Amino acid sequence: MKILVCISKTPDTTAKISFNGDQTFNAAGVQFIMNPYDEWYALVKALEIQEANGGTVTLINVGGADNETIIRKGLAIGAENAVRINTEPASAMSTAFQIASYAKSQGFDLIFTGKETIDFNAAEVGAMVAEYLDMPYVSFANEMKLNGNTAIIGREIEGGTETVEVDLPIVISAAKGLAEQRIPNMRGIMMAKSKPLEVMDPAPFQDNVTTKQFELPTAKSAVKMVDPENMDELVRLLHEEAKVI
Amino acid sequence: MSVLVFAESHDNTFKKPALESVFFGKKTAEKLGTQCVALVLGNAENPGQLGKYGADKVIHLSDASLANFDSQVYSSVIAQVAQATGSNVVVLAHSSNGKALTGRLAVKMNAACVSGVNALPETNGGFTISKSVYSGKATVHYALNAENKIISIMGNSLSPQIIGNDCPVESVAVNIPAAKVKVVNVDRVVGQVPLPEAEKVVSGGRGLKGPENWGIVEELAQVLGATTACSRPVADADWRPHHEHVGQTGIAIRPNLYIAIGISGAIQHLAGVNNSKVIVVINKDPEAPFFKGADYGVCGDLFEVVPKLTEALKKFKAQH
Ligand SMILES: Cc1cc2nc3c(=O)[nH]c(=O)nc-3n(C[C@H](O)[C@H](O)[C@H](O)COP(=O)(O)OP(=O)(O)OC[C@H]3O[C@@H](n4cnc5c(N)ncnc54)[C@H](O)[C@@H]3O)c2cc1C
């Protein structure tokens, strides 16, 4: 079983968000992490499958050298080797294009992404990789079993789960429930230091979406406190002032 | 040139995301001075009703094989219909199926694509569109610089209005590829509006102490006609089903009214709910961070406050 796991770097949710004058992200003082869906669910499910069926788990990341911290973390959790495509991930499409360009000649049976990144929540990369490689795609998987060459996968849908069956090779995006988070142990961290991390040049790509501007939200007006003994007043406010009931 | 809207139907009917997409598509078409074509795949009752929400025409392909959702098949069919109708803007809902299609379609149609937008595009001198990013801590404006454009819209971004009458329904010839993904079972809660579509949500946190206490949450939700949700530790402890978990690692919602009961308001929770139009927080701790992000706050014991609120709402409903 040859498995590829796509990992990305995002600011931690608690980070203070601000932008530079040229509309780029101000990274000063921001703590970056591996996108939780990639780390907790995609990578761990890939490792579980590899442990049960044999094979290899390879990580891929599109980004600069400072992404190596999260790549080493993925190796410490258990991936065998990693590839970094040395270019800024300017858009979902450019990222997917780089991943697909690498994967197309490698014969992966399974390609995992997280269901979305927690900063832009686009949920696009997995679908795009699948289209570039002309492979089936199952989004938002929260359960998965393998029966020979056939995967039986539960995927999140509005208010429930849809179960599908599909033959490998496939692209899957991982949601909560697919696996349990693993914390890297000391041995893993030591071993990660000597695992292969190959740096590759990007394939040429022309982006068709550009960021024009970032805007910070206007401050919310102060909360209006209502006396806990007077719920009629809350109902009145929701009706007359907020107009939501 | 026209705007093509993929209008999802489930169990023969169109839910709110489909109507929102059509209405959004029509408003976009008006800005571009063109018409709005809605595409319906699989069974659907009276697809011409989409005309009420702005479709100038509906293309309905009811081939039995389309009852099975496979992103490869659907994206191929949508791209063929876009070509046949001369559409260079495609609008979808940012729903579970929409999310599986947006990226595929963008690659297939060599299109510029933005998913999860929350407002109509600006079309004066270019085509720009905005979405909320970084857990609601910023809004980004994108310019789409390709002939073809794909947009998926967040639920509750634009409330659909009836602006027309039933419209003509046509079919076009397409080549439907064989599905590789086979749907073998669908397990959906019945009765409640699914969370991403809900206009009102009542959500409970660890402050409720245990699953046996959820009766007061459910009763409040019932009186309001709201959908129930919960914080992550509540779902993790199996007090509530996982599909109710909202927040950064759960579902992101933007209802008109979000009532948070016994939830502290951690940033990861807020990430999924802070786009709600009106937030009410019920918490006994005056220092609970959620009060800072709320519109209305009640500082008190939820076991007393919630039943009182339910009673007050019943009284209100009897009078209105
Ligand atoms: C990477 C990451 C991702 C996460 N993702 C999510 C997510 O998606 N969604 C999410 O919800 N959380 C998420 N969390 C967890 C989050 O940080 C909080 O721990 C969680 O939201 C707290 O849940 P809670 O508010 O229900 O519980 P608590 O923080 O324990 O708060 C309970 C609240 O109830 C109040 N209370 C108690 N008793 C009463 C009473 N009788 N009357 C009134 N009020 C009462 C208390 O004052 C308190 O404010 C995530 C955390 C991490 C690290």
User: What tens digit of pLDDT does each residue of A132-147 get?
Assistant: 999 999 999 999 999 9
Residue A133 in any domain: the answer is: yes
* Mutant choice from B69, B192, B295, B315 vs A, greatest count of A C-beta within 10 A: B295
Whether residue A138 lies within 8 A of chain B, CB to CB, comes out as yes
> Domain boundaries in chain B?
2-170, 195-319
CATH of the domain at A198: 3.40.50.620
The dotted CATH code for B195-319 is 3.40.50.1220
pLDDT of the residue at A47: 98
Write out the CATH class of domain B2-170. Answer: alpha beta
- Going B194 to B198 to B200 to B202, the CA torsion angle's sign is positive
Q: Which domain holds residue A92?
A: 2-214
Would an 8 Å CB–CB cutoff place A27 in contact with chain B?
Answer: no
For the ranges A9-18, A213-222, B81-90, B300-309, the lowest mean pLDDT is seen at A213-222
Distances (CA, A) of B126 to A15, A205, B121, B132, B144: 33, 22, 10, 20, 8
ipTM value, please give it: 0.95
Interior angle at CA B247, CA B241 and CA B250, nearest 5? 45
Would A36 be classed as within a structural domain?
yes
Q: Is residue A222 part of a domain?
A: no
Give the type of residue at A117. Answer: T
Q: Residue A12 domain-assigned?
A: yes
pLDDT in tens, B140-178: 999 999 999 999 999 888 889 999 999 999 999 999 999
Contact between chains at B301 and A217 (C-beta distance less than 8 A): no
Distance CA A162, CA B187 (A): 6
For A32-70, write each residue's pLDDT tens digit. Answer: 999 999 999 999 999 999 999 999 999 999 999 999 999
Interface contact A202, partner B, CB < 8 A: no
Half-sphere exposure (Cβ direction) of A46: Cα atoms closer than 13 Å: 36
- Average pLDDT (A7-19) is 94
Tell whether A244 is covered by a domain. Answer: no
Nearest to B249 by CA among B137, B135, B95, B132: B135
Token duo for residue B164: 């027309």
Q: CB count, 10 Å around CB of A141?
A: 26
Check pLDDT > 80 for residue B84. yes
The Cα B301–Cα A228 span in angstroms is 8
β-pairing, A150-157 with A160-167? antiparallel
Hey, is B281 helix, strand or coil? strand
Domain B2-170 and domain B195-319 have a common topology:
yes
Chain B residues 39-78 with a CB less than 8 Å from chain A = 69-72, 75
Neighbour tally for B72: CB within 10 Å: 22
The answer to whether position A229 is within a domain reads no
In a domain, residue A234? The reply is no
CB A50 within 8 A of CB A57: yes
More confident residue, B52 or A219: B52
Alpha carbon of B169 to those of B9, B20, B59, B63: distances in Å?
A: 15, 19, 6, 15
Q: What is the pLDDT of residues B240-282, one digit of tens each?
A: 998 899 998 888 899 999 999 999 999 999 999 998 999 999 9
Tokens read off for B144: 């789409």
Choose among B117, B156, B147, B157: nearest CA to B133.
Answer: B117
In a domain, A7, yes or no: yes
Helix (H), strand (E) at residue B153: strand B149-153
- Could you tell me if residue B286 is left (phi over 0), alpha (psi between -120 and 50 degrees) or otherwise beta? alpha
Of the candidates A124, A79, A3, A149, which has an alpha carbon nearest to the alpha carbon of residue A140?
A124
Contact list in B for residue A245 (CB cut-off 8 A) is 200, 224, 257, 313, 316
- Whether residue B191 is predicted with pLDDT greater than 80 in this model: the reply is no
Q: Comparing B242 with B39, which gets the higher pLDDT?
A: B39
| Ligand 1: centre distance to CA B205 (Å) | 6
